[in-house]
Amino acid sequence: AQEIGYPVMLKAAAGGGGRGMRAVQDADEIQAAYARCQSEAEKAFGDGAVFVEKLIQRPRHIEVQVLADSAGHVIHLRERDCSIQQRHQKVVEIAPAPNLDESLRDKLLHDALTLATAAKYVNAGTVEFLLEPETGDYYFIECNPRIQVEHTITEQVMGVDLVASQFQIAAGSTLADLGLNQAITPRGYAIQARVVAQGIGTLTAYKEPSGIGIRVDAHGYAGYAPPPQFDPLLAKLICHLPTGSFAHAIAATRRAVADFHIAGLSTNLGQLHGILGHTLVRDGD
C-alpha cells in the first residue's frame, strides 16, 4: 500500500457479499488483515486465496439492469444506486441514481451493454460498478447473472415486470416479442428499504404500510419466527413517486417506514427512519 501510493482492499478470491474483505491503509496493517481475510475466505468458501485491488474510499455503488434475449438483442433498464450499505450489505436502494452526471450515466450504460453483448449474455442480469464522485472515475465490480433483491425499484420506474420477462426469455421469447426496446424511459424515483430482523424471536404483531405508490414484498405475519440460519430479511418496502423530486420520494419512503409496525422481534426500522432523514441521503450525496 505504501509503495503504490494508495490504500488497497484485500478480498477473498472465491466469493463476495462482504465476507473476506479488509481495507488496508498502510503496510503495518497488511499482515493482520491478510490473515483475517484468508481465514474468513477459507471458512466461507473453502478457498483461502486472496487478491488485492485498489480501495475506493468514498464510492457510489451503481449497477445497471440489463435484459438480453437469445437472438443477441440487449437493452438496459437504467441504473440503481446501492451506495447505502452496512458491512457491505445493501440497506437502501434508489432508481434511477440521483445527482448522476448525464454524460457519466451514458458511459456506464454503454459499458454495461458492451459487456453483456460481448459475453453473449441471455436473460436478466446486473452489471455493477464503483464510482468515485470526486473524479468521475468508475471501476467494474462484477456481473450478477440473476434477478437481484432490488429489482423491484427498476420494475416500478421502468414499468417492466423483470421476473415475468426473465421467465418469458428463458422460454424463448425475444425482446421484440415482449414489446421491449431501448426507448423505455424512467418515471420518477423509486426507493427500496430492506427491513431485517436483528435478533431471534417470534413476531407478535405485523402491519405493513399501504397506499398509492407503496409496494411491500414480504413474508411477515404474527406468529412467524424467522429461522436464524438464513438471511434476516423480513420485508422489502418500495415507494414509487412517478412525479416529483428525489427529496419527495425520500420523504414518502420515510413516512412509510414510520407506518411499518413489527413487534416481538427487534428490527432495523428505527435505523432506516434515521438513514432516510439524514441530510446527505436527502441531498442524494
Q: Which residues of 73-90 are buried (b: 16+ CB within 10 A; e: fewer)?
A: bbbbbbbbbbbbeeeeeb
DSSP 64-132: EEEEE-TTS-EEEEEEEEEEEEETTEEEEEEESPTT--HHHHHHHHHHHHHHHHHTT--EEEEEEEEEE
What are the catalytic residues?
146
Closest CA to 175 of 190, 185, 158, 160: 160
- Contact call for residues 68 and 123 (beta carbons, < 8 A): yes
Residue 124 has which C-alpha cell? 436478466
Round to whole Å and give the CA distance between 109 and 163.
Answer: 21
Helix %, strand %, coil % of the chain (to 5): 25, 30, 40
Q: Quick one: DSSP state of residue 271?
A: H
Task: Go through the chain and tell me how many residues it has.
Answer: 285
